[in-house]
Structures are given as structure tokens and as C-alpha cells.
């Protein structure tokens, strides 16, 4: 059987060659883990609050101040949290439980971070578990932080334990 060789189109050959050559030098994402503590500073604004007919406490647009102290100076600083909640009432020491969400802004000398968060205060223990995604601005432009805040105490002024990862796209 006689097989005829077909010429490879020049454009396709060049594209394959470029992909092979470019792959080893493609940019990699750099991930840096960090951890620390978030301290409650105080309330800034109660926001709009009401209790619905079904006995749920609703808060919209409340604001609180915090101070984050972590082992990555880019994520240490003064924090303003805007919060929204739909809390059910419970016996002490829990007092309230349910879903919560809002926005966060963390500022320091290098720039600032803004983002959103969602979380929950548990019914049985009154613990708070929160996940946030922050986007860097100023000196942190282009960075993203994914953060977990855990408060294993029903005391709303107890510190949060912070664990996070800074994501820097396109590093070497």
C-alpha cells in the first residue's frame, strides 16, 4: 500500500512549536499561607435592625471595627466590617445563631483590601465560622486573599483565629 505524505500546513507547525517552547516559561501562581488573630475594636453603626413576625432578628448594614494581627504584614491592619444577619434567638450563652454576610475593608500603610464574606453562627455552641475573599488595592493590586475566620466562643467580642492564603497570579 502506498501512503502519500501530506505536507503539514506552515501555520499549524509554527503554532505547535510556539506552544512547546512557551510551556516551560509560563507564569505560575504563587500562594502564601498566613495566620493570626482578629480583635474586636467596637461597634461603628447598628445598621437597620428589626425582628420579623417569625421571631428572627434582621440586621442590614451594621458596621464594626476590628484589628487584624497576622504573620503577613500585607494582611495586618485596621478593618471595617459591614454585616447583615438573620439570627434566631437562643438560650444563653449562645443568645443568637444563623447566617451572616457582608463586606470587609482592611487598610494598612501598603494599601487596602476589599471583599465580601459569608458565615454562620452555630445554634448549639454559638461559634462563628466565616469565609472571605479579598482583593488587593494600592500596593496590593492584583493580589487576592482567601480567608477563614473562626471564633470558637459564643462571646461576640472574643478574637477570631485567622487562616488565609494570598494568591499572586503570574509569578515566576
pLDDT in tens, the chain (172 residues): 555 655 555 655 555 555 555 545 456 899 999 999 999 999 999 999 999 999 999 999 999 999 999 999 999 999 999 999 999 999 999 999 999 999 999 999 999 999 999 999 999 999 999 999 999 999 999 999 999 999 999 999 999 999 999 999 885 5
CA distance 55 to 77: 37
What per-residue confidence (pLDDT) applies to 9? 57
What per-residue confidence (pLDDT) applies to 170? 80
What per-residue confidence (pLDDT) applies to 25? 47
CATH architecture of 27-171: Beta Barrel (2.40)
What per-residue confidence (pLDDT) applies to 105? 98
In angstroms, what CA-CA distances link 86 with 80, 116, 122? Answer: 20, 17, 12
Nearest alpha carbon to residue 105 among 117, 93, 95: 117
What per-residue confidence (pLDDT) applies to 7? 56
DSSP calls for 5-46: PPPPPHHHHHHHHHHHHHGGG--EEEEEEEEEEEEEEEEEE-
Amino acid at each position: 500500500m502506498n501512503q502519500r505524505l501530506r505536507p503539514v500546513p506552515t501555520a499549524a507547525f509554527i503554532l505547535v512549536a510556539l506552544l512547546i517552547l512557551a510551556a516551560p516559561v509560563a507564569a505560575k501562581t504563587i500562594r502564601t499561607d498566613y495566620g493570626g488573630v482578629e480583635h474586636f475594636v467596637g461597634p461603628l453603626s447598628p445598621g437597620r435592625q428589626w425582628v420579623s413576625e417569625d421571631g428572627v432578628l434582621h440586621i442590614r448594614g451594621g458596621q464594626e471595627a476590628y484589628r487584624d494581627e497576622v504573620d503577613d504584614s500585607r494582611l495586618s491592619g485596621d478593618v471595617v466590617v459591614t454585616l447583615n444577619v438573620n439570627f434566631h434567638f437562643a438560650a444563653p450563652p449562645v443568645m443568637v445563631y444563623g447566617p451572616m454576610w457582608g463586606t470587609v475593608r482592611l487598610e494598612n500603610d501598603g494599601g487596602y483590601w476589599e471583599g465580601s464574606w459569608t458565615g454562620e453562627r452555630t445554634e448549639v455552641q454559638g461559634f462563628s465560622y466565616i469565609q472571605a475573599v479579598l482583593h488587593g488595592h494600592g500596593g496590593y493590586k492584583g493580589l487576592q486573599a482567601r480567608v477563614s475566620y473562626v471564633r470558637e466562643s459564643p462571646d461576640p467580642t472574643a478574637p477570631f483565629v485567622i487562616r488565609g492564603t494570598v494568591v499572586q497570579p503570574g509569578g515566576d
